[in-house]
Structure 1
């Protein structure tokens, strides 16, 4: 082998070895980059999932807060409307009661209430009150029932109240009490 052939052989061998090493280095570098890329991709996906989850929770909380505020506002407006309608209704009832109190049926009702109170007392001392607006009916009611009546100093709209002191019993058949009871239990 001549020197030129030896040089060519050495050159080709060196180039081949360098090329082989270069390819191996490139492959290792490529694998290293792919590994770094996969790790970066995995971290980016985890970060994106965490951000998505966090933002989703924030949106759900914001939606729930908005719904809660709207619900409270709706309930407040509904309650105001119900209170307004209840007030209108009981004002109308009171007007009808006032109208009823000017009828003979009202005096008959008072007679029934007085007679009931007398029977309930079973001979015990009883004090029966009528409303100040019914003072003009006192004499007529006393004649019809045989009871001694007292005109109350407190306005209870209409009806009667009776007290049996010996037994600490109050018989309250006043319109005021009945209306207050109805207002307390009334709902739309």
Structure 2
């Protein structure tokens, strides 16, 4: 083999080796790029998943906040409506009491209350009171129970009161007291339970 042939063989071998090396390096670089790309895709998917979970969590929180505000508004509206209805009920009740106070039954109720207070005092000194609105019934009631009656300085919507001084005891049969008791204990839940019975 002459030198030219040797050079050609050497060139071919060198080129083959270089080709193999380039192919290997290219394959290695390609694999490295693919791996980097896959890692990048995986990282992006994980970040997207985390972002999606965070956004879903934010939406849940926002939804819960909105729901809580809505429930609070409904409770306020319900309370306002209940208060309005309660006021109407007690206004109607007062009107019915005012009508009742014009009847003979009311005079009989006053007489009985005053007599019961006298009986309870058992001879001890007692001051009996009626509401200023009932001043026109004073003489009749005094005759019926045979005891003096005072007109209260403070209105109490009707009914009667008595004070046994020695015991510092107030006998309160006023409609105001009954109203205050009923009003303070009144609730629509109790009213619904009583209606269900």
Aligned residue in 1 for 2:162: 162
Q: Does 1:2 align with 2:35?
A: no
Shift of 1:6: 2.1
Q: Does 1:31 align with 2:40?
A: no
Judge which range, 5-14 or 92-101, deviates more.
Answer: 5-14
Aligned residue in 2 for 1:116: 116
3-state SS, counterpart of residue 138 of structure 2 = helix
**Long gaps (5+) in structure 1:** none
Aligned residue in 1 for 2:192: none
Regions of 4+ moved over 6 Å: none
Counterparts of 1:83-162 in structure 2 under 5 Å?
A: 83-162=83-162
Shift of 1:147: 2.5
**Long gaps (5+) in structure 2:** 189-197
1 CA distance for matches of 2:19 and 2:162? 120
Q: CA-to-partner distance for each residue in 1:23-71, whole Å, 9 max, x for gaps?
A: 1111221222123223322322232122112211211121112112211
Equivalent pairs, count = 188
1 CA distance for matches of 2:46 and 2:148? 91
2 CA distance for matches of 1:38 and 1:165? 98
2 CA distance for matches of 1:157 and 1:186? 19
TM-score (norm 1): 0.92
Alignment RMSD: 1.6
Q: Does 1:67 align with 2:75?
A: no
Shift of 1:3: 3.2
Q: CA-to-partner distance for each residue in 1:103-159, whole Å, 9 max, x for gaps?
A: 111011111211221222233221111011111111111222223211111111100
3-state SS, counterpart of residue 142 of structure 2 = helix
Aligned residue in 2 for 1:50: 50
2 CA distance for matches of 1:118 and 1:73? 53
Shift of 1:178: 0.9
TM-score (norm 2): 0.88
